[in-house]
Amino acid sequence: MNKTISITINGELYQQSVPIRMLLVDFIRDVAGLTGTHVACTFEGVCGACTVHLDGEAVKSCLMLAVQADGHRITTVEGLAVDGELSVLQKAFNDHHALQCGFCTSGILMNAAEFLKMNARPTEAEIRSALVGNLCRCTGYAHIVDAIKDAAGRAR
């Protein structure tokens, strides 16, 4: 069974008839062609690599059906940059070498972007707590934490 849905992703409207069981992550990757949103934990919601913003709130797109996002606004990692200019957070990740393979980075960026909106002056402990839903197998999180702290300082 299919349903026609409309989802605005990074400011662009996508209207598509999709199977009612299609996951939001599959819609983002396969329909919208935005491949920055990743799936690493085989749809269990534990890795955070698929994190996107739904109406400004971080959600794991592998745990949500595309039909649930009908009529909503999604921002993916591609939408963090504005007019081709990296966001403050993306620049801080680059400056602090806060990635290795990069597979988890998009989800961490999306989670951290929402976190920094709620907490403009986070402590290291608060940053580490905010990252609990994001798995990174390459780094020890030290550079990631440093980048988030730096982005918070730059944004002020």
Would you state the CATH architecture of domain 88-155? Orthogonal Bundle (1.10)
Query: Residue 64 carries which DSSP code?
Result: S
- At 65-90, the pLDDT tens digits run 999 999 999 999 999 999 999 999 99
- Tens digit of each residue's pLDDT (9 = 90 or more) over 22-66: 999 999 999 999 999 999 887 788 899 999 999 999 999 999 999
- In the chain, domain spans: 2-79, 88-155
Is the pLDDT at 95 greater than 80? The verdict is yes
Rounded distance between C-alpha atoms, residue 93 and residue 148, angstroms = 8
149 CB neighbour count, 10 Å cutoff: 18
Tokens of 108: 């961490």
pTM: 0.94
User: According to the model, what pLDDT value does residue 81 have?
Assistant: 95
Could you confirm whether domain 2-79 is CATH 2.40.50.100? Answer: no
CB-based burial label for 20 (10 Å; 0-12, 13-18, 19+): exposed
